[in-house]
Chain A
């Protein structure tokens, strides 16, 4: 027994409360005899039942919680039952190798020990450097698998009745997104707000009618080198795809029930234009009642027409929409794309054209009379 374990002055001087503690405490008191036989000391925290100690430990970071294992025999296994997982190394510098090893060791040693039946809170904030030469993905995967397993195992009922799901800024593997999709039979609305890790989204539940997919700008969510993303959602009625997809090729497969489709994403085109991408996208949304398209479509159509001057009209499918919204900058060049798109839209009851400002481009303003002229021709034709 070491000196610091005994502190005679800290024994409750309130005799009354001390005796009450002894009478009413649910657990046996640990009495520590001091070397000089002064007064018995009470191990204060031993009056707390295990579940309350675990509750307090759950509020600590994983590292702090696991340090308590070596306090005494009673504490040795308490931290295995914590139900919050908080790990945050953002304050540490990325290239610090001890931080890296700490995280790896934490993953390898802690996960197998945890025996809580459900996870209440899970937060893994881990700043790392790509240049470290260490592959973190398998470690991060382990944590995600753990979280998904614990959550889905214990909240099966919740997932079964889950109607709306929003996932933001996540790395999700193909098998995990599949698992989520098959675990949520009642899902009606899915919102994806930035992700990477999977390239196929199959929403095959008949209930799932709304998909909102936003891909943020910047380094986050890169599609790496295989640049394609496929959405198959045969029952979706409301689809919105927006954001910046860089050079990823978006394919929409097997949509037949569209009511509303909003494709306002942007892309960079590094390679030669693939006629089929635009065409395929328009074919999938051709039955939509309401359609919203971005500059990218207008530009692509214009590019195609510029390449092959004879291509006129034929390569675009007939669009059945009643409400057409085009959010695009209009230049002399893109006017032909707009014109062509309008020609393949014979039935609109409501048409809106929003100038979408892009720096360095000529704005709609000077082009207005030409747009009007194109519209007039188109109106005459459709009447």
Chain B
């Protein structure tokens, strides 16, 4: 078992087989730096719980393919990314820090899927982005690439 500590001082025990899906921790274990608790100063406990849930489910990727549990795993992944933007970005940051390739791909793809075909207004609202461009600057951008702002597929709804 490997002990991980979140930045709000909560400790979590994770099986080594699960935690080595993180390249960063795998390297630490290989270098003998994981004898006691591994502090994760960039990850809060709420996010770490999510990440550990993912790692435990994906513990034996190879096995899943053999036993026909692929669909099960796919369903888990779909459910897993069903979270708010804030939480999603926290998990992306954590996956990036811990270097968990598959989790990173899953979450970035989910973010991209949510942004697909969305109008500028909708994206701003979803991500709480403040428009600090002047009207002229904005118009200039649109004039540069008008094709990106036109089309029947553009979706102005927020969800």
Q: Which A residues lie at the B interface, using CB under 8 A? A: 1-2, 4-5, 7, 10, 12, 14, 16-17, 20-21, 23-24, 30, 32, 41-48, 52, 55-57, 59-61, 63-64, 66-73, 75-76, 98, 101-103, 105-106, 109-110
Q: Establish whether residues A56 and B112, one from each chain, have CB atoms under 8 Å apart when the complex forms.
A: yes
Q: Establish whether residues A66 and B148, one from each chain, have CB atoms under 8 Å apart when the complex forms.
A: yes
Contacts of B7 in A (CB 8 A): 20, 23-24
15 interchain pairs, CB-CB under 8 A: A16-B8, A20-B7, A24-B7, A44-B127, A45-B129, A47-B89, A48-B93, A56-B111, A63-B148, A64-B148, A66-B148, A68-B120, A72-B130, A101-B147, A102-B147
Within the complex, what minimum Cβ distance (angstroms) separates A17 from chain B? Answer: 5
Within the complex, what minimum Cβ distance (angstroms) separates A222 from chain B? Answer: 30
Q: Establish whether residues A67 and B120, one from each chain, have CB atoms under 8 Å apart when the complex forms.
A: yes
Contacts of B86 in A (CB 8 A): 12, 17, 42, 44
Within the complex, what minimum Cβ distance (angstroms) separates A243 from chain B? Answer: 36
Tell me if B99 counts as interface (CB < 8 A to partner A): no
Q: Establish whether residues A4 and B124, one from each chain, have CB atoms under 8 Å apart when the complex forms.
A: yes
Which of A5, A17, A70, A98 interacts with B141 by CB under 8 Å?
A70
Contact residues, B31-66 vs A (CB, 8 A): 41-42, 44, 46-47
Q: Establish whether residues B129 and A73, one from each chain, have CB atoms under 8 Å apart when the complex forms.
A: no
Cα distance A46–B124 in the bound complex, in angstroms: 12
Contact residues, B137-156 vs A (CB, 8 A): 138, 141-142, 144-151, 154
Given contacts A24-B41, A68-B123, 13 further A-B contacts (CB under 8 A): A5-B129, A5-B130, A7-B125, A10-B128, A12-B86, A32-B128, A59-B112, A60-B116, A64-B148, A67-B119, A70-B120, A70-B142, A73-B133
Q: Establish whether residues A43 and B8, one from each chain, have CB atoms under 8 Å apart when the complex forms.
A: no
Contacts of A106 in B (CB 8 A): 145, 147
Cα distance A109–B93 in the bound complex, in angstroms: 32
Contact residues, B80-129 vs A (CB, 8 A): 85-86, 89-90, 92-93, 96, 108-109, 111-112, 115-121, 123-125, 127-129
Q: Establish whether residues A102 and B129, one from each chain, have CB atoms under 8 Å apart when the complex forms.
A: no
Within the complex, what minimum Cβ distance (angstroms) separates B143 from chain A? Answer: 10
Given contacts A16-B44, A44-B86, contact A72 B133 (CB under 8 A): yes
Q: Establish whether residues A5 and B131, one from each chain, have CB atoms under 8 Å apart when the complex forms.
A: yes
Q: Establish whether residues B125 and A73, one from each chain, have CB atoms under 8 Å apart when the complex forms.
A: no
Within the complex, what minimum Cβ distance (angstroms) separates B72 from chain A? Answer: 25
Tell me if B75 counts as interface (CB < 8 A to partner A): no
Contacts of B92 in A (CB 8 A): 48, 52
Contacts of A14 in B (CB 8 A): 46
Given contacts A44-B86, A59-B108, contact A72 B123 (CB under 8 A): no
Tell me if B71 counts as interface (CB < 8 A to partner A): no
A-B pairs, top 10 by smallest CB distance, nearest first, are A59-B112, A102-B147, A66-B148, A67-B148, A70-B141, A20-B44, A105-B147, A4-B125, A45-B127, A56-B111
Cα distance A106–B151 in the bound complex, in angstroms: 13
Given contacts A14-B46, A24-B7, contact A71 B150 (CB under 8 A): no
Tell me if B30 counts as interface (CB < 8 A to partner A): no
Q: Establish whether residues B151 and A52, one from each chain, have CB atoms under 8 Å apart when the complex forms.
A: no
Cα distance A67–B138 in the bound complex, in angstroms: 11
Within the complex, what minimum Cβ distance (angstroms) separates B11 from chain A? Answer: 16
Contacts of A98 in B (CB 8 A): 150-151
Cα distance A135–B115 in the bound complex, in angstroms: 33
Contacts of B115 in A (CB 8 A): 56, 60, 64, 68
Cα distance A7–B130 in the bound complex, in angstroms: 11
Most B CB within 10 A of own CB, among A12, A56, A57: A56
Contacts of B129 in A (CB 8 A): 5, 43, 45-46, 71-72, 75
Q: Establish whether residues A55 and B131, one from each chain, have CB atoms under 8 Å apart when the complex forms.
A: no
Which of A47, A60, A67, A76 interacts with B93 by CB under 8 Å?
A47
Chain B residue at smallest Cβ distance from A48? B89
Q: Establish whether residues B141 and A1, one from each chain, have CB atoms under 8 Å apart when the complex forms.
A: no
Chain B residue at smallest Cβ distance from A46? B129
Cα distance A69–B149 in the bound complex, in angstroms: 10
Q: Establish whether residues B124 and A71, one from each chain, have CB atoms under 8 Å apart when the complex forms.
A: yes
Q: Establish whether residues A44 and B116, one from each chain, have CB atoms under 8 Å apart when the complex forms.
A: no
